[in-house]
Amino acid sequence: MDTQRWEQSAAFFLEKLAVQNMVVVCYARNDHLEFSIPYEYLGVSHAYFPDYIVLLTDGTTLMLEIKGLENDQDRAKHQATKRWLAAVNHWGKLGRWRFHVCRDPQMLEREMEWLQKSGT
């Protein structure tokens, strides 16, 4: 875990939802999976690695970021991710993908339930 408290809390809630088969089928910490989104910030190419990849019960794959404060570079990452999502979802051969930034892991369970209901 990059941040002991925040990402461990997120893993706890994801595990709880997966065990209960509520919203989450399974999840993986994006560590050494090499799943990344290319983006540019201040004219330099970078790779963004979302914190978690989550398979939802509706078949959607969710890129989940656990983030407190957001800076300009984070906004560049998130914009690139939204462009990637639009392209992949338009292509349609990798299923449906979504992206969510959780700013408080204690709210993650509620946010995941809301995401499932909203379908957007």
DSSP 62-97: EEEEE-SS--HHHHHHHHHHHHHHHHHHHH-TT--E
Inter-residue contact 120 to 97 (CB < 8 Å): no
Q: What pTM value is reported for the model?
A: 0.88
Inter-residue contact 66 to 102 (CB < 8 Å): yes
String of b and e for 27-50 (b: at least 16 CB within 10 Å)?
beebeeeeeebebeeeeeeeebbb
List the chain pLDDT tens, one digit each, 120 residues: 445 677 788 888 898 888 887 899 999 999 999 999 999 999 999 999 999 999 999 999 999 999 888 899 999 999 999 999 999 999 999 999 999 999 988 888 889 888 888 865
As a whole number of angstroms, the distance between CA 37 and CA 16 comes to 28
Residue 4 is predicted with a pLDDT of 61
- Residue type at 9? S
Residue 1 is predicted with a pLDDT of 41
Q: Which domains does the chain have, with CATH numbers?
A: 4-118 (3.40.1350.10)
